[in-house]
Amino acid sequence: MQHESPIIRRKSTQIWVGKVPVGGDAPISVQSMTNTRTTDVDATVAQIQAIQKAGADIVRVSVPTMEAAEAFKLIKQQTDIPLVADIHFDYRIALKVAEYGVDCLRINPGNIGREDRIRAVVDCARDNNIPIRIGVNAGSLERDIQEKYGEPTPAALVESAMRHVDILDRLNFDQFKVSVKASDVFLAVESYRQLAKQIVQPLHLGITEAGGARAGSVKSAIGLGMLLSEGIGDTLRISLAADPVEEVKVGFDILKSLRIRARGINFIACPSCSRQEFDVIGTVNALEQRLEDITTPLDVSIIGCVVNGPGEALVSDLGLAGSNRKSGYYVDGERQKERLDNTDLVDQLEQRIRAKVAEKAQRIDVKEEDV
């Protein structure tokens, strides 16, 4: 049972990264980035496809050399998800991947060099309807800004961002989004807050170099959760020292928890205690693995006893309230006559969840036909 999010989004202009709208009233998109060598075309294509299967809307690929740009051409031919080319300093690489059909350039105008080189990239982006992402990172601020502020501060990150924005403004190019990332949660959050007041373009959110899967997910959830709850953010990437597929899963979990965007099964499960009448943890873990292929939003509550079980089941699409030997089963908040045997819950629940998903998908199809 999905509920509307109470969050009011910051108003921003809309750009298109390939077929994906970013900003405006578009859904907040989830991104990830490949960590294979771009010159290894087969490995990179395989990873992009895995990231896409996990639900990502956009994938970023590092293109550090002209050899990598030639590999990007082959990668682009074998994938159908919008690709962002991550480029630093060399404007010729930007021109080459634009020729090969890139959907967005992640390149900071101020780092390209001479005015004619900057104009060449911007003109190329304009002619080919390619947006640009300005990406400011606390760990790589310009030397004069580092000397001015002494250390990364929100003002330093915003000044760096606005330096690049001013270049694009001067060249009459407004199809861009901006990020001001830091590994420190408070630094990143305050930088985004300040930047959100100065520009109308979409903001790409991230806590950069957040850490491993567990710690990085926590940091990202706190930082991005703070910003998203304030209506700030139009697209996001969770930066983990882990499989990029995990970044996508965490991104959707954050959006799901804030009722911003739903994808797949939302399990409401108790941490379990001595009152549990079945193995809650084992049941939930098994179901998460079995049901990863489902993209239809569905709330499923799995509670080990009758203390909280019935209450959670009342506001779920499907619910289970643990009881002795057989547990209470709920559909759309209504208690069913049947009870589920506690010795075979995983198979029973998987069957019922898949049936509910099929029923929900059919209702959606019927509504679309009526329209």
**Which contiguous run of DSSP H or E holds residue 265?**
strand 265-269
The residue ranking higher by pLDDT, 210 or 319, is: 319
Residue 192 in this model has a pLDDT that exceeds 80: yes
| Helix ranges, 242-304 (H) | 244-257, 280-290
Partner residues linked to 320 by β-bridges: 302, 329
The token pair at 87 is: 């480029």
CB 161 within 8 A of CB 117: no
The token pair at 201 is: 């373009």
The token pair at 355 is: 């049936």
The rounded mean pLDDT for the chain is 94
- Per-residue confidence (pLDDT) for residue 334, from 0 to 100: 95
**For the residues 350-369, what does the mean pLDDT come to?**
80
Is residue 237 packed enough to be buried (19+ CB in 10 Å), middle (13-18) or exposed (0-12)?
A: buried
- Per-residue confidence (pLDDT) for residue 126, from 0 to 100: 98
- Per-residue confidence (pLDDT) for residue 365, from 0 to 100: 61
pLDDT category of residue 367 using cuts at 50, 70 and 90: low
Strands 58-62 and 334-341, bridge-based pairing: unpaired
Q: What is the DSSP string of 20-74?
A: EEEETTSPPEEEEE--S-TT-HHHHHHHHHHHHHTT-SEEEEE--SHHHHHHHHH
**For the residues 49-57, what does the mean pLDDT come to?**
96
Residue 370 in this model has a pLDDT that exceeds 70: no
- Per-residue confidence (pLDDT) for residue 371, from 0 to 100: 45
Tokens 């559909």 correspond to: 331
**For the residues 235-245, what does the mean pLDDT come to?**
96
Residue 208 in this model has a pLDDT that exceeds 90: yes
- Per-residue confidence (pLDDT) for residue 47, from 0 to 100: 98
Residue 244 in this model has a pLDDT that exceeds 90: yes
CB 72 within 8 A of CB 89: no
Taking the domains of the chain in order of start, what are their residue ranges?
14-257, 265-370
Residue 297 in this model has a pLDDT that exceeds 50: yes
CB 200 within 8 A of CB 11: yes
Q: Render pLDDT for 138-190 as a digit per residue (tens, 0 to 9).
A: 999 999 999 999 999 999 999 999 999 999 999 999 999 999 999 999 999 99
Strands 83-86 and 104-106, bridge-based pairing: parallel
Residue 12 in this model has a pLDDT that exceeds 60: yes
For 99, 115, 127, the CA distances from 123, given in Å and listed in that order, are: 13, 12, 6
Is residue 348 packed enough to be buried (19+ CB in 10 Å), middle (13-18) or exposed (0-12)?
A: middle
DSSP state of 342: G
Residue 207 in this model has a pLDDT that exceeds 90: yes
Q: Render pLDDT for 320-355 as a digit per residue (tens, 0 to 9).
A: 999 999 999 999 999 999 999 999 999 999 999 999
- For domain 265-370, say whether CATH 3.40.50.2000 is its number: no
For 56, 58, 312, 344, the CA distances from 20, given in Å and listed in that order, are: 11, 8, 35, 42
**For the residues 301-324, what does the mean pLDDT come to?**
95
- Distance, CA of 324 to chain centre: 41
Tokens 């970013």 correspond to: 22
The angle subtended at Cα 284 by Cα 213 and Cα 248, nearest 5°, is 35
d(CA 44, CA 64): 14
* CATH homologous superfamily, domain 14-257: Dihydropteroate synthase-like (3.20.20.20)
d(CA 58, CA 369): 29
d(CA 325, CA 41): 53
Percent of the chain with pLDDT over 90: 91
- Per-residue confidence (pLDDT) for residue 238, from 0 to 100: 97
- Per-residue confidence (pLDDT) for residue 366, from 0 to 100: 55
d(CA 57, CA 26): 12
- Per-residue confidence (pLDDT) for residue 227, from 0 to 100: 98
Residue 369 in this model has a pLDDT that exceeds 90: no
